[in-house]
Structure 1
Amino acid sequence: MIKKILLSFIAIFTVVSGIIIFYWRDVQYNPDKGDFFLYFLLLPAIITLSILSPWLIYSAYKTYKDKKEQAINQDKNDANQKQNAVTDAPLEQLNFNIYSSFAVHALGENESIIAELQNFKSPELDDQLLNSYGLPLLSYRIKDLDEDNHEESEYASPRQVRMISLIQQQLEQNIENLYLIAEHLKRSTLFYESQQAREYHMHPAWVDPESEYDDVQMQIVEVYRLNRLNLHILLSEDLLHIWNDEQSNELILEFFTEIGIVPQKLHIEYHFFGEQLAYQELIHLLKGIHKREHEMFFLVVADSEIDQDLVNEKSWMIKDYIPAEFAASCLIADPLIKIQELEPTKNLKVVVGQQDAAKLFTNFEFHDLPQYEGEAPYVLILSDQMDIKFSKKLQQHFLQTSVEPHHYIYVKSSLGHTQHLADIYGFMLSMHFPEHIIPFVFGENTVSAHTFVQSVTENSEDDVMVLNN
């Protein structure tokens, strides 16, 4: 470029100088030093710059554009290398047996909630809650909770009264399975914690290594071992400093004592999640309980904002504030654990680290499922359907799959402004689809961990799913 500019300047300098010299001779002009600087240096430079300016501007723009494209390509290459590294890395798969599940909402219970979500049922006018103008507001109230007789003075607020009722309802809905677990805990305790069990493990020489009966007997005992039941209660983060653990534990322990589970065999843990990180925290919890082969896990999620004091606080900040309440639970365990007289109903699988839905569908051979040909929805969308940016992400995510927009079912709108645990609630709802449908959960916060639920088949425990073909 510099060479071209110099050659152009020399050519223009020669022409301009010749013209000026002939003109001065013709008019017999006697120039001074300033004239030489002006006509033999500055004037050729101005003419050269004027002539070359379009070319210089174009060259500068082209250089800028090339550098920008190079930077974009470099970013894409880095992203592809990073994605390939993630794709090539072994994926983590969490497998659980689901023994029971229950969900309740103003729309109904279990499968009826799914049906009402498809019908886009709106909230109803609540004659017990008033907005900031003193007028009844819309809400998703579970009317059956109004019939429970709890003295509000025993709890921190009417909100906790309703949430305690929701948690108790979840326990009662699973009482038959919990009775079976209680009985199994007794049998396991009698064997492993008796004097005979301690001597059996302290003196392995008592077992004849050549005895086929002893080997089989040891395997049977190990499979049926059960140490404790873990109760994980998932609550909204705004309850962190006001939830009364002591009163809640008292009612829970009373329930489990009545069915035969002593406090020593029960672990109660509370988790307080916010809207943005709730799903990631759930996956972290599932990772923590995965492969714990001698324990059962009962997960309960509950939330309620049907409380006039809370409405007064939020209705000033949120226009047309709509409170809601809901609860859901599931009884899960590692597939290796066996409970006498208790059989799993479904399998829960969580694949962590695979963000490519098309590759996931291929590896699990989902492309040929009959549900793709039907019109029934099976993809639970956990994000706002009115969000244009998310709609584009959603379209891109399932672009290479057989999933169509009419297969989507949106959950978030049915919870009004009670959104802290919306992702976990949607996760729980995936357990209530018909047996012939494998549901999927997708949202802005779920891309890194895909979950799906399958009905139990005769060969489900022997199926080996290869994720890194």
Structure 2
Amino acid sequence: MIKLIISAFLAIAVSISTVVIYYWRDSHYDPSQMDLVGMFILLPFVICILILSPYFIYKTIQYYRNEKLQQQKNQELTALKNDKKQQDKSKNEQDVEHHRLNILSSAAWHCFGENEEILQSMTQFKSPELDFQLTNNFGLPLLSYRIAELDQWLEKADLDEEKLFSNTRERRIQQLIQQQLQKHAHSMHAIAQQLKRSALFYDNEFAYQYRMHPGWNPENQYDYKVENDDLLKQEIVEEVAQLNRLNIHILIAESLVHSWDDQAYQAQLLQQLEHDYAFLIDHVHIEFHFLARQSAYAACMTLLQDIAQQSEEASLIIMADSEIDQEWVDENFWQHEQYIASEYAASWCLTAEQVALEEITAVQILKMSHHVKKLEKDLIGQQLDLSAQLETEQAFVLLLDEAKKSKSLQQLQQNFNPVGISSEYFIYIQSFIGNTQCFGHVLGLMLLTQMRDNVITMAYSLEQPHTYIYCENKNPEHAETLPLIA
């Protein structure tokens, strides 16, 4: 802009000066000093201002317009910053969220054994074994965490089951699910009884179906058209806590989503439950969750929170995964030359805290704390005393991540050192499942209920750094040896 003004002024000054000089020469005019200043400086300046005035007006208007827009942008930016600060402040000040669940029964299966045997082998740093049925590209056997007993289960499998799943990996996962389901026979029987009694008291339609069901006929030889009509009139139904449904959640790796026949397997499971425990199909809901490694733990935590809100339902969660399959190993061997395949399963039969069953009581209480900033403060709030356990050298904290990075170790120390929990109390789950990592975090979480030698056990993952899971054992034998403030 300054260059424009100077250029215009010089051009006008030169033009006017040329005209005035020639005029004065022809007219023999003798200019004074004031004439020189006026003609060569003031007049070009005034004419320059007049010519450039529209440009100055335009620039002035544009300047004020831009200033106004800039002020609006600054105000919006300030408002956004204030909103973000307010959101961050609200997030930081978010109240700790607690959920409590009743564990009716739990089970786990790994090549190390079942239930407590798994954790005992982990504390002894047991290694994988050479698998002569799995080979690498050179025909040499590989290391694996194969469950040898599962091979015997497959040999005894019915022909129908073999037709349902022809793939080796799918058949092994199916048998893992079946084995876990058998481990909850007592809980399933108690839930079936509660569903029946609840239906008899609260729902006439289901009450009639239960009375007509062969599984609920004591003699199983009545003429239902005559005898059961008399039973309908004579049976005295006592009031019980209402229970409306059993939810079965089966967690499977996402890689099986296109090959797993969930509808056929669901029909088979419903038929099995109806035959073994006399469930009504309408009272059982089966849902398959195909989860990826990145989302499995978060999905499991969300599922547990949902179950904690179900005041009139019971749930069974079964997680199973297997990569003991030569075809699967061949597909993954090119990514990892030292690929270690594994297989494992774990399950919980649980209810919300407010659900009460007549024939079975909770053996453990699962507590979940979310948005925790300080572990010490949360332990006090939950009335959990770890002093007796800290006096021993027995591990009671399951770490669900691979804590190999120094940053991860520092974060763990910052969280646990203030309450006196050092590395000697940790069990690192990921080191004992090889490369079958899809449900590694979920397995560690569900193994929490197998540490029955302690009154209080904990599980923690850096995937959700402000979430802590506690398990309070209700075994009277252990309660006598280790005091608990609760």
- Class of the TM-score when normalised by the shorter of the 2 chains: 0.7 to 0.9
What is the aligned partner in structure 2 of residue 105 from structure 1?
Answer: 110
Deviation, structure 1 residue 449: 2.1
Deviation, structure 1 residue 94: 1.0
**Count of aligned pairs between the two proteins:** 364
- Pair 1:122-2:156 in alignment: no
What is the aligned partner in structure 2 of residue 235 from structure 1?
Answer: 252
What is the aligned partner in structure 2 of residue 174 from structure 1?
Answer: 184
- Pair 1:252-2:257 in alignment: no
Equivalent-residue separation in structure 2 for 1:303 and 1:419 (angstroms): 9
Choose 182-191 or 135-144, whichever is displaced more: 182-191
Structure 2's unaligned 5+ residue stretches are 1-82, 209-237
- Asked whether the 8 Å contact 1:132–1:316 carries over to 2, the reply is no
SS of the aligned residue for 1:324 comes to strand
1:356 to 374, 386, 389: 374
SS of the aligned residue for 2:175 comes to helix
SS of the aligned residue for 1:276 comes to helix
Q: Using CA pairs below 8 Å that are at least 6 residues apart, which structure has the higher relative contact order?
A: 1
2:443 to 403, 406, 425: 425
2:263 is matched by which residue type in structure 1? E
Deviation, structure 1 residue 292: 1.1
How do 1:287-306 residues align onto structure 2 when only pairs under 5 Å count?
287-306=305-324
What is the aligned partner in structure 2 of residue 26 from structure 1?
Answer: none
Deviation, structure 1 residue 250: 3.0
Larger radius of gyration: 2
1:388 is matched by which residue type in structure 2? S
- Asked whether the 8 Å contact 1:276–1:445 carries over to 2, the reply is no
1:348-380 CA deviation, whole Å, 9 max, x = no partner? 111111143232223234455311111000110
Deviation, structure 1 residue 384: 1.2
TM-score scaled by structure 1?
Answer: 0.73
- Asked whether the 8 Å contact 1:305–1:418 carries over to 2, the reply is yes
Equivalent-residue separation in structure 2 for 1:368 and 1:191 (angstroms): 44
Equivalent-residue separation in structure 2 for 1:117 and 1:80 (angstroms): 45
What is the aligned partner in structure 2 of residue 271 from structure 1?
Answer: 289
What is the aligned partner in structure 2 of residue 40 from structure 1?
Answer: none
Equivalent-residue separation in structure 2 for 1:398 and 1:81 (angstroms): 29
Deviation, structure 1 residue 438: 1.1
What is the aligned partner in structure 1 of residue 60 from structure 2?
Answer: none
Deviation, structure 1 residue 345: 0.2
1:187 to 197, 204, 211: 197
How do 1:385-404 residues align onto structure 2 when only pairs under 5 Å count?
385-404=403-422
How do 1:54-73 residues align onto structure 2 when only pairs under 5 Å count?
none
- Asked whether the 8 Å contact 1:233–1:270 carries over to 2, the reply is yes
What is the aligned partner in structure 1 of residue 165 from structure 2?
Answer: 155
Equivalent-residue separation in structure 2 for 1:450 and 1:283 (angstroms): 11
Equivalent-residue separation in structure 1 for 2:87 and 2:456 (angstroms): 30
How do 1:70-81 residues align onto structure 2 when only pairs under 5 Å count?
none
- Pair 1:133-2:138 in alignment: yes
* 357 and 254 in structure 1: CA distance in 2 versus 1, 3 angstrom threshold: same
Equivalent-residue separation in structure 1 for 2:465 and 2:352 (angstroms): 24
- Asked whether the 8 Å contact 1:156–1:244 carries over to 2, the reply is no
- Pair 1:88-2:116 in alignment: no
- Asked whether the 8 Å contact 2:146–2:324 carries over to 1, the reply is yes
* 90 and 393 in structure 1: CA distance in 2 versus 1, 3 angstrom threshold: closer
How do 1:380-459 residues align onto structure 2 when only pairs under 5 Å count?
380-434=398-452, 436-456=454-474
Equivalent-residue separation in structure 1 for 2:136 and 2:163 (angstroms): 24
How do 1:299-338 residues align onto structure 2 when only pairs under 5 Å count?
299-338=317-356
TM-score scaled by structure 2?
Answer: 0.70
Deviation, structure 1 residue 163: 0.6
* 81 and 379 in structure 1: CA distance in 2 versus 1, 3 angstrom threshold: farther
Deviation, structure 1 residue 386: 2.7
1:94 is matched by which residue type in structure 2? H
Deviation, structure 1 residue 144: 0.7
What is the aligned partner in structure 1 of residue 150 from structure 2?
Answer: 145
Q: CA RMSD in A?
A: 2.7
- Asked whether the 8 Å contact 2:199–2:207 carries over to 1, the reply is no
- Asked whether the 8 Å contact 2:164–2:265 carries over to 1, the reply is no
SS of the aligned residue for 1:241 comes to coil
Deviation, structure 1 residue 457: 8.2
Deviation, structure 1 residue 79: 11
Equivalent-residue separation in structure 1 for 2:206 and 2:323 (angstroms): 53
SS of the aligned residue for 2:436 comes to coil
Choose 381-390 or 422-431, whichever is displaced more: 381-390
* 82 and 450 in structure 1: CA distance in 2 versus 1, 3 angstrom threshold: farther
2:360 to 329, 342, 352: 342
Give the fraction of aligned pairs with identical amino acids, expressed as a percent.
Answer: 34
Equivalent-residue separation in structure 2 for 1:366 and 1:340 (angstroms): 28
Equivalent-residue separation in structure 1 for 2:385 and 2:312 (angstroms): 36
